[in-house]
A and B are shown apart, each in its own frame.
Chain A
Amino acid sequence: MEVINGGTALDWAYAKGKFQYTYTIRLRDTGNHGFLLPQHDIVPSGEEMFAVAKALGGFILERPGGPWQ
Chain B
Amino acid sequence: MLTDTNIAGLQTVYGGRTDNLPPFPSARVLIPTSHGVTCGTPQALKHSTRTPVPKVTLPFPQLRKLELTLAGYRGEKAFQAVEAQRMATYISKTLPKRKVKPIGYIDFHSYSQMVLYPYAYDCSVLPRDAEDIAEAAWVMAKAARQVHGRYFNVDSACEGDHFNNANVTTIPTHTYMSLDFGTEAIDDGGD
Real binding pair: yes
A positions within 8 Å CB-CB of B: 1-37, 42, 44, 46-49, 51-60, 63, 66-68
CB 8 Å contact bits of B78-99 with A (1 = contact, 0 = none): 0000001001100110000000
B positions within 8 Å CB-CB of A: 27-28, 30, 33-45, 50, 53, 71-72, 74, 84, 87-88, 91-92, 101-122, 127, 129, 132-133, 135-137, 139-140, 142-144, 146-148, 150, 152, 155, 157-164, 174-176, 180-181, 183-184, 187-191
A13 to B160, CA, bound (A): 21
Residues on B with C-beta less than 8 A from A14 are 42, 44, 105, 118-119, 127
14 residue pairs bridging A and B, Cβ less than 8 Å apart: A3-B162, A5-B161, A5-B176, A6-B161, A9-B84, A10-B119, A14-B42, A14-B127, A21-B133, A35-B111, A35-B189, A36-B184, A37-B111, A48-B152
Residues on A with C-beta less than 8 A from B115 are 23-26, 52
Residues on B with C-beta less than 8 A from A51 are 143-144, 146-147
Residues on B with C-beta less than 8 A from A1 are 160, 162
Cβ-closest 10 pairs across A and B: A34-B189, A15-B42, A55-B143, A7-B39, A6-B121, A26-B112, A12-B37, A26-B114, A19-B105, A24-B116
Task: Return A50 CB to nearest CB of chain B, in Å.
Answer: 8
A27 to B31, CA, bound (A): 12
Residues on A with C-beta less than 8 A from B150 are 28, 44, 48
Least CB separation from B162: chain A residue: A3
Q: Is the CB of B164 within 8 A of A5?
A: yes
